Homo-oligomer: A and B are copies of this chain.
Amino acid sequence: MREPAFEPHDHRRCVDGALQTAESLIAARGLRLTPVRRRALEILLERHGAMGAYEVLERLAADGYGHQPPVAYRALDFLVENGLAHRIRRLNAFAACAHPGADHHAAFLICRLCNALAEIPADALRNHLLAGAEESGFAVERLSIEALGLCPNCQSPEPS
C-alpha cells in the first residue's frame, strides 16, 4: 500500500476532501467550524506532517487571529476532539487527520529526516493490545502508537 505522505500526489484533493468532510461532520454534530478553527485545520492540512502549536499560532496570528497560546491550543484541541486532527505525542505536535470521519484507529509513521507523517490503519493492532490489556484487567480508553524512522525517500543515501 502506498502512503500519500511518502509519494507525490494531488494534494489539493487531500485538502479539499478533508475540509468538506470537516464541514459536514461538524455541522452534523451541531457544532461550529468557526473561522479560526477552520483556518487551523487548513494550516495543518498544508502538509502530511506534524506542526507544533506555536507554529500554528504564528500562522494564525499572521492571519489576524489572536497572538496568545490558548488561541492555537483551543482550536487544535477542538480539531482533535472531533477527529479532524491527531496529537503526536512523540513530537509534541499536531497533524491533520488523513481519514477524517472514518472512525478509524491509526498508527503513525514519522520520518525523522523529512518529517513526513503517515497514518496507517491500526485496528488489528489495537485489538491485539486490548486483548493483552484485558488479561491484566486493564480497560484501555486511549491508545497511541507512534513509530519513528525513515520514510522510503529518506532511506537512500543523499546524492550531494
Contact = CB atoms under 8 A, between A and B. Distances in A.
A128 B129 contact: no
A129 B142 contact: no
Interface in A102-160: 107, 109, 111-112, 118, 120-122, 124-125, 128-129, 132-133, 135-152, 155
A89 B89 CA distance: 6
Contact of A129 (B90, B140, B147, B151): B147
The complex is assembled from copies of this chain, and their number is: 2
A46 interface: no
A6 interface: yes
Interface residues of A, number: 39
A138 B109 contact: yes
Contacts of A147: 129, 133, 138, 140-144
A3 interface: yes
Nearest to A89: B89
A2 interface: yes
Contacts of A120: 132-133, 136
Contacts of A112: 141
Given A6-B136, A120-B133, A138-B149, 11 more contacts: A120-B132, A124-B128, A133-B149, A137-B151, A137-B155, A138-B150, A138-B151, A139-B149, A140-B148, A142-B147, A142-B148
Interface of A: 1-3, 6, 89-90, 107, 109, 111-112, 118, 120-122, 124-125, 128-129, 132-133, 135-152, 155
